[in-house]
């Protein structure tokens, strides 16, 4: 036996002490994400052919045995266990690993290792690219021998007890893309040599005791996307040259930084999180922030910013959290802030703001707005408990001035009365000509009748049928009087009387708005011509259809063969992740989709992906109400292949279940294989198909449509061309081959090497798909992290991070 995979189960107990003696030819041993306990068997050193040893996320205890006989070992991961006992000998196993010349990845984070890093760490393989020791009790200063590991691409020492200065030799790690030293006790200045790491994508030095200014050499970063140096004792101004276009996250909070927020912040047009709170910044809030159209989180509180609130902040349509509290801001609150439709939290407290508080948009909900400590504010919704905005007429202007004002007011009231009367007459006449479906916009939800839906879909004609699924069938039609194409979903009712509050719940769903959710226009609750209960939802029409038809066109049924390139698929993954993040984390009541799959993802004219059918599992439940603060759902819990495994064992629907479906969705998009593929049976599924193949057989599992000459020319601008036909490498790896036309031959070399930029992008995305589709729900990623990681991957692919 050369491969033994038992990961992602609920296995308990200890490993057999003689496992290495009975399985001497093992090459790949994966037992991660179980509940194994006891020590790691010493006999594993006898399995001398081992290349991958994955024991992470279990309950192993004791010391790590001598593994120096594993000369072929490339990947060793035993993080997230209970190994070590905070003693000085916990890290002695590093001495033996110096005998493993092929070691590339070493993870032993989240254990109980104590003591200092030994000098023998410098004897580790020169091929080592990833080292993670985070979340232990490792203390002392970093050894000088660490500088030998010059091929590292990722180094994490987060949340330990390390002291001393950050070594200057880190500047020699020219391949480093991720450096995390946060949560330690590092002292002194940030070495300027860090600026030599031009490939760095993520840098986290937060929660230390660092002093001095931010090095100007940070302007040398060409790929940096996330910079976090918060919670230190840094001083001075923000170097202008760190505000680059590839930056996604900048956290400088809780330092002693001074000066202004540079107008050059507008250069960071892709940034989505900016936190400079609790410093000593002053001056006005720069209007150039309006250029940062991707901003979702903006934290400027606890400084000395002055002047008016820039109305241009209202152009940040994606803003979700805005905190400007505890500054010296003055003037009125711009009414335009009411237009920020996805804003979830607004804090303007303890400034010097004056005038009337708006009452629309987020200002309608006092629980999400704070304006305390602004003595001159008035009005707003009653729950804000502000003084009324009275009309005051100065006495010194005399009676004549008051008389003029009275005349103006009286004239205005008279004019408004006349206009109102005209509008009433106009609407009354207009309503007499309209069908019952065209109610005034002031109605909470305009209803349509069964008769109208029957007519606009041609009697629910097969010619107008555009899709069907677990929730029902979808027809297209044109709404009367609006000349607008819509999609009508006729719901399959789980039982008679399902969701008696259907219309009220539809209204709640209709008010859930996000750019990546299909917009609900109206609903219908009636009976059909046979007297059966009838419920339907009318959606905005998506002209480019479902993602399913793009991924798997049915040519026999007249669907044209069409393709999505790599960037379009990556954009779709981001769009869907953003929608789920919003449903899970930013709705008043978290909404579980329960049936995420490509056929429920629709594409508009601009190929932007929109998730449909959100909230329907709950809507069709006979006992569920959207007003309840719960996420459980009865009834429909997904489709075969996409449903989370816990659902098959009676588990309640959850956001983690959606994450699993999303992971399968991502793997399907980039491999081109459905989870219901006939080759997948028993425990061998799409997840394991990808997992076993990565990273060596990436070329063999990705969709051939992503490897065509045309697509790579368009997206990656590669320079080398060759012909390649997929070969069978393994019984577990099934290729889709000989379906491409001659002009679309795979754009890889004779040694199965695709363009490095494309390869890194695909590998990163597939790893996210795997992390989302893990069997244990608690081990899966959350959608906020997924969205953030995908944005990083996209920016890197476009030239901001991955080297070409």
In a 3-state reduction of DSSP, which class is residue 539? strand
Pairing of strands 465-469, 472-479: antiparallel
Pairing of strands 321-323, 297-299: parallel
Cα–Cα dist 625/627, whole Å: 5
- The half-sphere exposure of 21 on its side-chain side, counting CA atoms within 13 A, is 7
| Identified catalytic residue from 595, 613, 677, 722 | 595
Of 418, 452, 417, 411, the C-alpha closest to 435 is 452
In 222-363 the beta strands, taken as DSSP E runs, fall at: 226-228, 235-236, 249-251, 256-257, 273-275, 282-284, 297-299, 304-308, 321-323, 328-331, 345-347, 352-357
Whether the CB-CB separation of 251 and 228 falls below 8 Å is answered with yes
Cα–Cα dist 788/294, whole Å: 12
CA separation (Å) from 782 to 41, 675, 779?
A: 34, 21, 9
- Angle, alpha carbons 314-319-325 (nearest 5°): 80
Cα–Cα dist 25/18, whole Å: 13
CA quadruple 147, 149, 155, 159: dihedral, nearest 10: -50
Any idea which residue has 């990947």 for tokens?
A: 75
For 13-43, what is the HEC assignment? EECCCCHHHHCCCCCEEECCCCEEEECCCHH
Binding residues: 489
Query: What is the token pair recorded at 340?
Result: 């920020």
Which residues make beta-bridge pairs with 272? none
Cα–Cα dist 525/460, whole Å: 16
Of 135, 133, 141, the C-alpha closest to 97 is 133
Whether the CB-CB separation of 744 and 709 falls below 8 Å is answered with yes
Dihedral sign, Cα of residue 640, residue 646, residue 651, residue 657: negative
In a 3-state reduction of DSSP, which class is residue 189? strand
Cα–Cα dist 444/511, whole Å: 10
Radius of gyration of the chain (CA): 30
Whether the CB-CB separation of 657 and 632 falls below 8 Å is answered with no
Query: 8 an active-site residue?
Result: no
CB atoms under 10 Å from CB of 750, counted, come to: 8
Cα–Cα dist 554/563, whole Å: 13
Binding residues for ATP: 489
In a 3-state reduction of DSSP, which class is residue 62? strand
Query: What is the token pair recorded at 711?
Result: 């697509």
- The half-sphere exposure of 708 on its side-chain side, counting CA atoms within 13 A, is 20
- What single DSSP character describes residue 116? B
The values of phi and psi at residue 128, to 5°, are -65, 125
| Helices 566-585 & 783-795 angle (0-180, nearest 10) | 150
Whether the CB-CB separation of 301 and 327 falls below 8 Å is answered with yes
Q: Which helix (H) or strand (E) holds 467?
A: strand 465-469
Whether the CB-CB separation of 466 and 543 falls below 8 Å is answered with no
In a 3-state reduction of DSSP, which class is residue 707? coil
- Angle, alpha carbons 588-593-598 (nearest 5°): 140
In a 3-state reduction of DSSP, which class is residue 427? helix
Query: What is the token pair recorded at 357?
Result: 């508080």
| Residues with active-site annotation | 595
């Amino acid at each position: 036996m050369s491969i033994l995979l038992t990961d992602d189960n609920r296995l308990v107990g200890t490993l057999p002490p003689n496992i290495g003696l009975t399985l001497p030819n093992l090459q790949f041993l994966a037992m991660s994400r179980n509940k194994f306990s006891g020590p790691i068997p010493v006999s594993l050193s006898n399995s001398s052919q081992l290349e991958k040893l994955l024991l992470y996320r279990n309950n192993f205890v004791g010391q790590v045995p001598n593994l120096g006989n594993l000369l072929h070992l490339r990947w060793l991961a035993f993080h997230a266990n209970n190994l070590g006992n905070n003693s000085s000998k916990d890290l002695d196993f590093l001495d033996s690993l110096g005998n493993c010349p092929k070691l590339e990845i070493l993870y032993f984070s989240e254990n109980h290792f104590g003591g200092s890093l030994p000098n023998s760490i410098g004897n580790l393989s020169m091929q080592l690219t990833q080292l993670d020791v985070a979340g232990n009790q490792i203390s002392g200063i970093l050894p000088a021998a660490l500088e030998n590991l010059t091929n590292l691409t990722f180094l994490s020492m987060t949340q330990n007890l390390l002291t001393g200065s950050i070594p200057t030799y880190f500047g020699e790690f020219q391949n480093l893309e991720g450096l995390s030293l946060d949560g330690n006790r590092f002292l002194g200045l940030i070495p300027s040599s860090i600026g030599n790491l031009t490939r760095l994508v993520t840098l986290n030095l937060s929660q230390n005791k660092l002093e001095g200014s931010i090095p100007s050499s940070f302007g040398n970063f060409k790929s940096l996307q996330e910079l976090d140096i918060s919670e230190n004792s840094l001083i001075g101004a923000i170097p202008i040259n760190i505000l680059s276009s590839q930056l996604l996250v900048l956290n400088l909070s809780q330092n002693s930084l001074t000066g202004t927020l540079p107008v050059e912040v507008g250069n960071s047009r892709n940034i989505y999180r900016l936190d400079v709170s609790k410093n000593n910044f002053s001056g006005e809030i720069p209007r150039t922030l309006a250029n940062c159209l991707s901003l979702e989180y903006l934290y400027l509180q606890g400084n000395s910013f002055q002047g008016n609130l820039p109305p241009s902040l209202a152009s940040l349509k994606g803003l979700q959290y805005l905190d400007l509290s505890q500054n010296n801001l003055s003037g009125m609150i711009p009414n335009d802030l009411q237009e920020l439709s996805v804003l979830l939290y607004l804090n303007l407290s303890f400034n010097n703001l004056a005038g009337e508080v708006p009452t629309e948009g987020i200002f309608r909900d006092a629980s999400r707005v704070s304006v305390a400590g602004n003595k001159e504010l008035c009005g707003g919704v009653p729950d804000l408990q502000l003084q009324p905005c009275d009309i005051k007429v100065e006495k010194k202007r005399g009676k004549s001035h008051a008389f003029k004002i009275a005349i103006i007011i009286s004239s205005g009231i008279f004019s408004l009365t006349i206009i109102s009367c005209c509008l009433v007459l106009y609407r009354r006449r207009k309503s007499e000509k309209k069908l019952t479906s065209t109610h005034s916009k002031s109605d909470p939800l305009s209803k349509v009748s069964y008769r109208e839906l029957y007519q606009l879909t041609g009697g629910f004609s097969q010619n107008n049928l555009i899709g069907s699924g677990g929730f029902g069938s979808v027809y297209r039609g044109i709404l009367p009087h609006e000349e607008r194409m819509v999609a009508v979903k006729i719901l399959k009712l789980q039982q008679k009387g399902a969701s008696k509050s259907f219309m009220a719940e539809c209204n709640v769903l209709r008010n859930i708005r996000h750019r990546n959710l299909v917009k609900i226009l109206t609903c219908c609750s009636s009976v059909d011509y046979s007297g059966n209960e009838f419920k339907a939802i009318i959606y905005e029409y998506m002209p480019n259809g479902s993602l399913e038809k793009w991924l798997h066109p049915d040519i026999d049924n007249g669907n044209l063969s069409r393709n999505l390139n790599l960037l379009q698929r990556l954009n779709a993954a981001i769009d869907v992740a953003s929608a789920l993040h919003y449903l899970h984390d930013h709705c008043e009541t978290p909404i579980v989709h329960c049936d995420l799959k490509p056929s429920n993802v629709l594409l508009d004219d601009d190929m932007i992906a929109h998730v449909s059918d959100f909230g329907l599992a709950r809507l069709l439940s006979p006992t569920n109400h959207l007003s309840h603060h719960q996420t459980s759902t009865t009834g429909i819990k997904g489709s075969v292949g996409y449903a989370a495994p816990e659902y098959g064992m009676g588990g309640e629907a959850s956001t983690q279940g959606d994450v699993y479906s999303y992971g399968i969705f991502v793997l399907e998009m980039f491999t081109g294989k459905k989870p219901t593929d006939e080759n997948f049976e028993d425990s061998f599924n799409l997840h394991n198909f990808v997992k076993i193949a990565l990273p060596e057989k990436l070329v063999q599992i990705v969709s051939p449509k992503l490897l065509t000459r045309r697509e790579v020319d368009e997206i990656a601008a590669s320079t080398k061309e060759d012909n390649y036909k997929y070969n069978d490498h393994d019984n577990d790896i099934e290729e889709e081959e000989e379906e491409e036309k001659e002009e679309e031959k795979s754009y890889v070399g004779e040694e199965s090497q695709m363009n490095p930029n494309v390869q890194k992008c695909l590998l990163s995305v597939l790893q996210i798909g795997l992390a989302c589709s893990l069997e244990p729900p608690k081990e899966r990623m959350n959608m906020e992290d997924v969205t953030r990681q995908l944005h990083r991957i996209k920016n890197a692919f476009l030239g901001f991070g991955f080297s070409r």
